[in-house]
Amino acid sequence: MGTNSPYSSSLGVLPHIHERHHENFFSFKGRTQLWADKYNDSEGRLLTAGDYGSVPTNTTHTFQLLDPDTELVGVIVPGGFEDLFYFLGNANVSYATQTPFVPADVSDSAGSGSSATIISELESFDVYAQLSFTPRRDFVNGTAPANATWHDGSSTIPSVAGTPYFLASGWGPKYLTGKYGAWQIVQPFVTPTTGEHDFTQCTITLSRQPANVSLPSWNLTDHTALQVLEGGLKVEVGNETATLIGGDVVFIPGGTAFKYQSVAASSKVMYVGAGDAGLDQQLLKSARSWEYVSFPTYWP
């Protein structure tokens, strides 16, 4: 789910927890402050493009949007949580002027209404307000507490489920495979463990397909979604072909054959898949640990 907002001088939503939903914040553009508090550890990060934050169940969290054109991609598992946004939204709108969003710096507080009625209504959407939570404001270089590693060293993924964590763009684990022709670099956000075997998420950076290697056809048991972040992706699903550019999404139902290739020298996509045996896990089987966000200078 993509959400785009202008900046605001206040929180974008009341501090809250979800008892049943694992919320995943991916910063598509602009700046977002995200707070996550669990197990007596209260952390805040400034997310810029490509950064990721994991908010598992029963984590108190809130966020604030800081730039005029701030866009998040939320993956909320299990499905159905989008009903909250239909409830909060005023209308299904489109503009004859061809603007995708209202061209004004308005930021209402639809998500942060504090009346008792709204708060109790939100509970039916698995949103439980935590009104006593005060987000810490002692950020230094994008992190609170100030001594956390953030854009100045490796980001790591916990080896257990349930703990909130943050990954700075390019600073997390990276794996390289050339088994299917093009180089592909997998940067995991959510592993089978941290996704509790319900879903996984990563980015995949891919080179062009070498001319002498035929494009593999995939057919995965579970659903797959790809969103283009950089470059462009040519995708064949069943007998449809489309070329996707930045922001475009393809959804591939489980049991459907598909092929994909980069139409640029380097393209980057975000992958989200159901289950724990999706495209990322298939690529990782042949991948080796890799230090860089770009590929080798020779073909696989």
In the complex, minimum distance from the CB of residue 231 to Cu ion, in angstroms, rounded to a whole number: 31
Counting residues that bind Cu ion (by CB under 5 A) gives: 1
Contact 235, 259 (CB under 8 A): yes
Nearer to Cu ion, 15 or 142 (CB): 15
DSSP string of 222-248, one letter each residue:
S-EEEEEEES-EEEEETTEEEEE-TT-
18 belongs to the catalytic site: yes
Task: Mark whether 16 is an active-site residue.
Answer: yes
Task: Determine whether 151 is an active site residue.
Answer: no
Q: How far apart are CA 43 and CA 54, in angstroms?
A: 12
Helix (DSSP H) and strand (DSSP E) numbers for the chain: 3, 22
Which C-beta is closer to Cu ion: that of 23 or that of 51?
23
222 binds Cu ion (CB under 5 A): no
Of 42, 65, 68, 64, the C-alpha closest to 55 is 42
Find the part of the chain contacting Cu ion (CB under 5 A) among 16-24, 144-152, 265-273, 285-293: 16-24
Burial class from Cβ neighbours inside 10 Å (0-12, 13-18, 19+) for residue 187 reads buried
| CB nearer Cu ion, residue 24 or residue 191 | 24
126 binds Cu ion (CB under 5 A): no
* Of 6, 23, 59, 206, the one binding Cu ion by CB under 5 A: 23
Residue of 21, 22, 43, 61 marked catalytic: 61
What minimum distance in Å lies between the beta carbon of 271 and Cu ion? 22
